[in-house]
Amino acid sequence: MSDLYARHKAVLPDWLALYYEEPLEIIHGEGRHVWDADGKKYLDFFGGILTTMTAHALPEVTKAVTEQAGRILHSSTLYLNRPMVDLAEQIARLSGIPDARVFFTTSGTEANDTALLLATTYRRSNQILAMRNSYHGRSFSAVGITGNRGWSPTSLSPLGTLYVHGGVRTRGPFAHLSDADFIAACVEDLKDLLGHTRPPAALIAEPVQGVGGFTSPPDGLYAAFREVLQEHGILWIADEVQTGWGRTGDHFWGWQAHGACGPPDILTFAKGIGNGMSIGGVVARAEIMNCLDANSISTFGGTQITMAAGLANLTYLLEHDLQGNARHVGGLLAERLRTAAARLPGVREVRGRGLMIGVELVRPGTDEADPQAAAAVLEAARADGLLIGKGGGHNTSVLRIAPPLTLTVPEAQEGAAILERALRTVHE
Ligand code: PMP
């Protein structure tokens, strides 16, 4: 055990789990690569749980951050803040939400907390509809709407939560149905639930479940849900913490895969927008955002240095069409992995959208989740110079691939080759 690991264990919570038997200390990054404390280089297919949206040490972001740090490090929402207004204008425009207002936080959890505060206040109800197998953060209210048990340490909650079917297409009681029948069954389930409950404030959902293993419902599910929700005045909160900013390739936001539902009433974002700096936020129609009777409710949300980073990062993303790159390179990568998986034992499915690709592992010849294999693949890939993530509601048996969106085709091929070797090794 390294000295740093021993010190980590002695002073930090036991539940602050680390990847790898010998945990990794990353000290340097460039482009799609990172280096550990021993100087070993890795291709990064997980980008700090999707926080490195464009590239490690992107010069444009580094310049914006250092220039801002050299001018002033100051945080208060009580004064005018030019980078905050600049970034809010861009996000409001991109959100698709009419008459949008943007509120910045420092994390995805806090963004969802704020969304819940808005929805429960606006609707005068603390009942929330959430998806099974979901993940929305770690605050007291966010764990209460997180349907993924492994990530939800308490069942106590200030909210009454009802879990809806639909976030996971490939498992569960409706898995055998066609896409259209799956949607119809989930809608019936939702209607039935609404017949038995007090009026909920909102439905919160990740368009593609992230921690839950990169699973998406068939396109159109949320449009069908939306019709039912609107009949009851229930708001729809899209948690775009993992799916935003073009990562899913075909769309800038995950909700757009459900087209006809139109923009959500409330959208939350975080992770990639800061390229590693802590930015989260909420977008909502003015009518909803302004329902709170409050003074400023944040000190650090929208601090100048994070806003400067976010602006530089977003500008780069848009100018270089990284959504198009996610579609193109992600499509090639998923295709290659699908072809390889057909010849490998223990791969149940390769799925995903753009540069958000999941590889679900099962014990060969069965449909049983194989978390041991997932852990072993992570170790083997690391030894071979590739970092990936894992997740999934079924005992973390899904490999998660979410590289920075500037990933090149040769890098995608290199990573796929390492991953295929690791998958083969584990079953040898
Ligand atoms: N929502 C989703 C969909 C997430 O994936 C996460 C983080 N994994 C969060 C919310 C919470 O974000 P944070 O860790 O920044 O609080």
Atom 13 of ligand 1, residue of closest alpha carbon: 108
Ligand 1 mutation target, pool 49, 116, 241, 243, most atoms within 8 A of CB: 241
Q: What is the pLDDT of residue 201?
A: 98
The Å distance, Cα 112 to ligand 1 centre, comes to: 9
Please report which helix (H) or strand (E) contains residue 214, including its range. Answer: none
Q: What is the pLDDT of residues 15-39, one digit of tens each?
A: 888 999 999 999 999 999 999 999 9
Q: What is the pLDDT of residue 66?
A: 98
The Å distance, Cα 203 to ligand 1 centre, comes to: 17
Q: Is the CB of 108 under 6 A from ligand 1?
A: yes
Q: Is the CB of 222 under 6 A from ligand 1?
A: no
Q: 312, 64 in Cβ contact below 8 A? A: yes
pLDDT above 90 (res 40): yes
pLDDT above 90 (res 426): yes
| Structure tokens given for 412 | 């995608």
pTM equals: 0.97
Q: What is the pLDDT of residues 69-88, one digit of tens each?
A: 999 998 888 899 999 999 99
Please report which helix (H) or strand (E) contains residue 382, including its range. Answer: helix 371-383
Question: How far is the CA of 113 from the CAs of 9, 105, 136, 319, in angstroms?
Answer: 29, 10, 9, 32
Q: CA 230, CA 120: separation in Å to the nearest integer?
A: 16
The Å distance, Cα 243 to ligand 1 centre, comes to: 11
C-alpha torsion sign, points 60, 313, 209, 198: positive
Mean pLDDT of 83-95: 98
The Å distance, Cα 199 to ligand 1 centre, comes to: 26
Q: What is the pLDDT of residues 322-361, one digit of tens each?
A: 999 999 999 999 999 999 999 999 999 999 999 999 999 9
Which ligand 1 atom is nearest residue 270's CA?
15
The percentage of residues in the chain with a pLDDT greater than 70, rounded to a whole number, is: 100
Atom 1 of ligand 1, residue of closest alpha carbon: 136
Amino acid at 150: G
Residue 26: Cβ within 10 Å count: 14
pLDDT above 80 (res 395): no
Ligand 1 mutation target, pool 151, 209, 247, 271, most atoms within 8 A of CB: 271
Average pLDDT, the chain: 95
End-to-end, the C-alpha distance of the chain in Å comes to 28
Q: What is the pLDDT of residue 317?
A: 98
Q: What is the pLDDT of residue 294?
A: 84
Q: Is the CB of 239 under 6 A from ligand 1?
A: yes
Q: At what angle do helices 304-319 and 322-341 cross, to 10 degrees?
A: 70
Q: 153, 15 in Cβ contact below 8 A? A: yes
> Can you tell me whether residue 242 is helix, strand or coil?
coil
Q: Is 139 exposed, middle or buried (0-12, 13-18, 19+ CB in 10 A)?
A: middle
The Å distance, Cα 49 to ligand 1 centre, comes to: 9
ipTM score of complex: 0.99
Q: What is the pLDDT of residues 402-424, one digit of tens each?
A: 999 999 999 999 999 999 999 99
| Structure tokens given for 177 | 């149905």
- In 3D, which of 403, 419, 394 has the Cα closest to residue 341? 419
Q: What is the pLDDT of residues 246-271, one digit of tens each?
A: 999 999 999 999 988 899 999 999 99
Q: Is the CB of 210 under 6 A from ligand 1?
A: yes
The Å distance, Cα 108 to ligand 1 centre, comes to: 5
DSSP at 19: S
Q: What is the pLDDT of residue 162?
A: 95
Q: Is the CB of 135 under 6 A from ligand 1?
A: yes
